[in-house]
Amino acid sequence: MSDEAYDASLDILRRLNPKKIKTHLNNICRLAPDLAEEILTSVDTPLEVKRCSESGKNFLICDYNRDGDSYRSPWSNVYMPAADEDAPYPSKNLRALEIHANDSFDIYRDLYYDGGISSIYLWDTEDDENQGFAGVILLKKGIDASKTNSGAWDSVHVFEINTIDKKTAVYKITSTIILDLTSNADDAKIDLSGSLTRQTEKELQFKDSASHIANIGSLVEDIEYKLRNMLQEVYFGKTKDIIGDLRTTQTTTDIEVDKAKHSDLIKGMNSL
C-alpha cells in the first residue's frame, strides 16, 4: 500500500459530493482493496442505528464498537448479534466510566438535541485507566417532518486522554459534524450536504476518572457550539454569497446605479 494512494483517497473524498460519501468510499475500496481498512477507519460517514435487544434501546454504531459483523451496545455491553469469545470489552473500571459517560451525554443530548440518539464508547490505551484512555462520542438527529424537506445531523468526536501528572491531563479531540439538508419544494431540488472537521487539544486539571468525563463533556459542548456556528455560516452564508457571484437577480446596470446613489448619499451626508 502506498502513502500517496492513501493521501489521494482522502483528497478525492474531500472533493466528491459528500452526499454520496458511502458510495465513493466503497468504490475507492474496490479500486484499491489494500487501502480499504485504513480508509474505512479514517473517514466519517453518517452513523447507522442498531437496536439493543437486551435494553430495548437504540444505539449508534461505528468502527470503534465493531467486532466482525457485531456491534457492542453501550447500554448493555452486549454485542449484537453475539460476537466471538475474544471480542474486545473495556476493562471493568473503564466500563463503569463508560456507563457514566453514556448517562451524562444522554442528558446533554436531551438538552441540546431534544430527540436523537447518543452513544459513547471507551477503550483502554494504558494498563491503568488512571494514566489515560480513549473514546468516541456519537450523536445523531434527523428531521423528516414534511415530505418535501429533510435534515440530518451526525456528530463524531474521537478523543484521547493522556495524563501528564496526578492532576493534569491533555485532551485531544477530532470532531466532525456531518450535516445533510434537502429541499424538494416547487419542483426544484436542493441538496446542501457535507461536513466540517475541527481538531482541539487542551490541557486541563482533573480529580478522578469521572472528572475526565466532565472535562470531555464541556470541551465537546464548546466544540459543537463553534462547529454549529461555522456550519450555519458556510451552509447559509457562504453558499448564498457564491450564488450571488454566479448570477444576480438585479441587472448589473441597476446594481451600479444603486451603488452610485448610495455613494452620493454618503457624500451628501458627509458634506452636511
Partner 1 sequence: MSASLDSIINDMIKDSPPGELHNVVSDIKTIIQDDQKDLSSSIEDFLTDDFELIQLKNDYTVISKHNKEGSKYVDYDSKTKFNVDFKKLVAIDLEEFELELSDDYLKLNKSLKTYVQEHFPSHFKSILIENENDFIIIILDLKFSPKNFYNGKWSSFYKYDKVSQQVSGKIKINVHYFEDGNVRLITDKKLEDSKVEFNDLVSFINNFENDFEKHVLIQFQELNEKYFKNLRRQLPINRAKVQWGRSINNYKLGQDVAGGKDV
Go through the chain and tell me how many residues it has.
Answer: 272
Helix (H, G, I), strand (E, B) or coil at 24: helix
Which of 9, 45, 65, 163 touches partner 1 (CB under 8 A)? 9
Indicate the residue among 103 and 264 with the shorter CB distance to partner 1: 103
Is there binding between residue 190 and partner 1 (CB under 8 A)? Answer: yes
| 162 vs 156: CA distance, rounded Å | 20
Choices 25-33, 63-71, 88-96, 165-173; region in contact with partner 1 by CB under 8 A: 25-33
Per CB under 8 A, does 2 bind partner 1? yes
Q: Which of residues 235-264 bind partner 1 (CB under 8 A)?
A: 235-236, 238-240, 242-243, 245-249, 251-253
**Spatial separation of the C-alpha atoms in residues 83 and 194, rounded to whole Å:** 33
Decide: is 27 part of the binding site for partner 1 (CB under 8 A).
yes
| Least CB distance to partner 1 at residue 85 (A) | 27
**Residue 235 contacts by C-beta under 8 Å, 6 or more apart in sequence?**
179, 181, 192
Distance CA 263, CA 270 (A): 10
**153 φ, ψ to 5°?**
-125, 130
Among 131, 168, 218, 263, binds partner 1 (CB under 8 A): 218
Applying CB under 8 A, what is the total number of residues that bind partner 1?
Answer: 105
Q: Pick from 85, 92, 186, 270: which binds partner 1 (CB under 8 A)?
A: 186
Cα 47 to its chain centre, rounded Å, is: 9
Stretch that binds partner 1, among 21-29, 83-91, 166-174, 259-267 (CB under 8 A): 21-29
Q: Which stretch binds partner 1 (CB under 8 A): 79-87, 146-154, 160-168, 264-272?
A: 146-154
Binders in 62-91 for partner 1, by CB under 8 A? 75
Task: Cell numbers for 55, please give them.
Answer: 435494553
**Residues in region 37-56 near partner 1 by CB under 8 A:** 49, 52, 55
Q: Of the two residues 84 and 245, which places its CB atom closer to partner 1 in the complex?
A: 245
270-to-256, 264, 266 alpha-carbon distances in Å: 21, 10, 6
Residue 141 touching partner 1 (CB under 8 A): yes
> 104, 217 in Cβ contact below 8 A?
yes
Cell of 62: 461505528
Task: Say if strands 117-124 and 132-143 run parallel, antiparallel, or are unpaired.
Answer: antiparallel
Closer CB to partner 1, 128 or 221, in the complex: 221
Interacting positions 93-132 with partner 1 (CB under 8 A): 102-104, 106-108, 110-118
Between 15 and 267, whose beta carbon lies closer to partner 1?
Answer: 15
> Minimal CA–CA distance to 156: which of 192, 193, 182, 119?
119
